[in-house]
A and B are shown apart, each in its own frame.
Chain A
Amino acid sequence: MQQPLYSITALFDTPDEIIHAAEATSTSGYSVYDVHTPYPVHGMDHAMHLKTSKIGYFAFAFGLLGALSAVSFISWVTLSDYPLVIGGKPFWSWPAFVPVSFELTVLLASVLSTLAMIVLYFKFPNNAHPLHDTHYMKCVSSDKFGLSIQAEDPKFDEKKVREFIASIGGKEITPVFIDPEESTHGQKLFDLKFIGVLVVVALTVSVATYITLNKLLYMQPFNWMMLQNKLKAQQSSVLFKDGIGMRQPVEGTVARGFMPYPFKGKPEEAGKYLMNPLLPTKEVLEQGKSRYLTFCSPCHGNFARGDSRLQGQFPNPPTLHSDKVRNWPDGRIYHVITEGQNAMPSYAPQISSEDRWAIINYLRVLQRAQNVKESDLK
């Protein structure tokens, strides 16, 4: 069966020859032809009378896309999704965005314009080409320079082209034919079988990689800190009868500073029976102030007005200057700190018993300062 002709190819020995050949080919009116060289030859664009590549516009558009997506994403994160104060700067601090936006601009511009080149110029997904697997292609990918004038050219006439190429010094003038089977490779890419094979290969490779790296070849760089002869919290043990590694305190004893709280769930009784053991001396108030500013002020505000940064974002933290809190006995407030209330969690693990009483003393000072009696002004 006679296969259709794709092109007439010829080989040249030096870059100078191929430049002159390209120049001669374009000036004698051929337009559908290509040149293949093992490395980029300077001046080829000019010799082939090529127009400037359009890829630059793609790169510009993709770069713009990268910059805009970076800026809009960072703006969304910092303004609405997760606003964080960093270094006392405004949420939308554009200088900090520049490096990341720059990186994304470069990344998208380079990666996407490469993809655009593959799709537009290499006609992806059609990866077949009549020149593949020819002697010509072997030569031009090692040490020869090739010229291929295609049959699609309007001026194409096999005999004349052969004569023309011979006249400009081309060697090994060979015709290349189109293999009809090969030209359908593009459709084969979306064949169900092919995609199935791809999926199987991808899964096999992923699983094999996972097993190899995480099970077979897993090595600890050093293990003398990881493997110690001791029990960690929550581990079981064969030493003790009950098989539990963590021990309970001896019966009838209490750890220092960990007196059990007797008024669990009984706020009124706590208010009635608990007394503040500390006097409001200067030292105690200083201690209470420092603990208050550490643990309480983030929600209740520096002056206990409930005007912290959480105001309006949370179940509103209450003011501690309400009549209710002011009229509570110290023990009642102690109960709230110890047990928590509504959205407020228990602060017993963080604040020691003594500090809780000191905080209450300091809170009384704040309340008094905010609700001055007439006698204070005299």
Chain B
Amino acid sequence: MNGQQSSAELLKKPLPANVSKIGWGLILFGTVCCVLGFMMDVRLASFVQLMNFLFLTSIGIGALFLVALEYIAGAVWSVPIRRVNEFLASLIPIAALMAVPLFFHLHELYQWVNAGTVSQDVVLKMKEPYLNVNFFTIRFVVVFGMWTLFFYLFTHNSLRQDIDKNRNHTKFNIGLAAAYMPIFAVGLTIVAIDWAMSLEPHWYSTIYGVYYFAGTVLAGVSTATYITVKLHEHGFFPRLRRDHFYSLGTLMFVFVNFWAYIAFSQFLLIWYANLPEETTWFIARWKNGWEYISVLLIVVHFAVPYFMLLSQDSKMDLKRLKFISIWILFAHLLDLYWLVMPSYSVSPVFSWMEIGFPLLSVGLVIVIFVWKMKRQNLIPVGDPKLQRGLEFRL
């Protein structure tokens, strides 16, 4: 194989126009749903929008984690498909925009916003130095600002490398990844605690951030897997082998297990110690119909993907990978529903909003991805590890 031909088939190609149309359609539909939702029932719409915001954050931040992980671990196999993750990571600032409507309705979501409640409540009073609207907003801005900054630096270097083929960009990005990891971890914990855990401000779990982390990486990997497989089927990644898809499948399998491990760790410790201030959160999720959602979550988020991805062949089967990645995205949405909605009502409620709002996120993912693909190379042609990545064998 000669270099000219191989770089020619790596260059950018436009996607079919109807993909973009579908994306815009979903955005339009989702936006109408959001507006209608906020007009009809502000409280319910706020909770669903919170879910939606966390969902989009998960995809973006999970994708950026995978980019950083590739640099820091010196991974070779994922180099040809790194751009998929880089494109998805550009959802981080968009996700921050999704949170803007929530800032107008914080009092619908959180008890600790209400000064009257806080003054009556000893625990909330003690937590006030952390849980107050000003500091909450500052944390939000700083965390999403840092993430966006790192996203910009990673992709900026990666794109410049396409042109000048300079190895130093990779070296610089490795250092950047090392610096990003703690920022990612702390930021993710802050987002998880601020937006989801503080819905029940009396309750706390030290593993909560890790729990959300497991979900975000799953969302990132499964979105990237779906897009990669879909693009491969339409001839965009002609030189990807089943070895690459096997690695993606393995990563999904790993984090399905990791999620179960963390979820169970959180449950086991609280169940064992049986302290009244800690068990409330699980008790709320184990009565009035929530127990069915809890069991469903275990089945959907762990049992089904676990057995579907267990065998070696299933991780290379493109059809199954497509199915399971969509399945896991849905499972992550269910996970967020399970985290957020028990604060809204004591028994589970379903409305059209839970379907309508996430469609906005799905549309955004599609449109942003198409928009990025038009402007940037789908394959990092300047990366020194690209050739080895393309020849990757198990």
A→B interface (CB under 8 Å):
42-43, 45-46, 52, 56, 60, 87-89, 95-96, 98-99
Contacts and interface: CB of A to CB of B under 8 A. Distances in A.
B267 interface: yes
Contact of B394 (A43, A56, A87, A89): A43
Contacts of B267: 95
Contact of A99 (B268, B312, B313): B268
A141 B206 CA distance: 50
B5 interface: no
Nearest to B268: A95
Interface of B: 243, 264, 267-268, 271-272, 274, 310-313, 392-394
A60 B312 CA distance: 12
Given A56-B312, A95-B267, A98-B264, A42 B272 contact: no
Contact of B274 (A45, A88, A99): A88
Given A52-B313, A56-B312, A43 B393 contact: yes
Given A43-B394, A45-B394, A96 B272 contact: yes
Contacts of B313: 52
24 contacts: A42-B392, A42-B393, A42-B394, A43-B243, A43-B393, A45-B394, A46-B393, A46-B394, A52-B312, A52-B313, A60-B310, A87-B272, A87-B274, A88-B274, A89-B274, A95-B264, A95-B267, A95-B268, A95-B271, A95-B272, A96-B268, A96-B272, A98-B264, A99-B268
A89 B268 CA distance: 13
A56 B243 CA distance: 18
Nearest to B242: A46
Q: Which 4 A-B pairs have the closest CB atoms?
A: A43-B393, A42-B393, A95-B271, A95-B268
Nearest to A57: B311
A188 to B, nearest CB: 38
Given A52-B312, A98-B268, 11 more contacts: A42-B392, A42-B393, A43-B393, A43-B394, A60-B310, A87-B272, A95-B264, A95-B267, A95-B268, A98-B264, A99-B268
Contacts, number: 28
Contacts of A45: 394
A95 B265 CA distance: 10
Contacts of B274: 87-89
A98 to B, nearest CB: 6
Contacts of B310: 60
Contacts of B264: 95, 98
Contacts of A56: 311-312
A14 to B, nearest CB: 15
Nearest to A44: B393
A60 B311 CA distance: 9
A88 B274 CA distance: 10
A46 B264 CA distance: 38
A164 to B, nearest CB: 24
A60 B267 CA distance: 26
Contacts of B394: 42-43, 45-46
A96 B269 CA distance: 10
Nearest to B310: A60
A195 B310 CA distance: 42
A98 B265 CA distance: 10
B274 to A, nearest CB: 6
A99 to B, nearest CB: 7
Contacts of B268: 95-96, 98-99
A42 B310 CA distance: 22
A46 B271 CA distance: 48
A139 B346 CA distance: 71
A18 to B, nearest CB: 13
B50 to A, nearest CB: 29
A94 to B, nearest CB: 10
Contacts of A43: 243, 393-394
Nearest to B316: A52
B273 to A, nearest CB: 8
B345 to A, nearest CB: 27
Contacts of B243: 43
A189 B267 CA distance: 52
A296 to B, nearest CB: 29
Contacts of B393: 42-43, 46
Contacts of A99: 268
Contacts of A89: 274
Nearest to A88: B274
A99 B268 CA distance: 9
A56 B309 CA distance: 13
Contacts of A46: 393-394
Contacts of A60: 310
Nearest to A43: B393
Contacts of B392: 42
B242 to A, nearest CB: 9
A145 to B, nearest CB: 15
Nearest to A96: B272
A72 B243 CA distance: 39
A87 B267 CA distance: 16
Nearest to B274: A87
Contacts of A98: 264, 268
A96 B394 CA distance: 38
B244 to A, nearest CB: 13
A23 to B, nearest CB: 12
A87 B269 CA distance: 13
Contacts of A88: 274
A99 B272 CA distance: 13
B187 to A, nearest CB: 31
A87 B312 CA distance: 42
A98 B274 CA distance: 17
A134 to B, nearest CB: 29
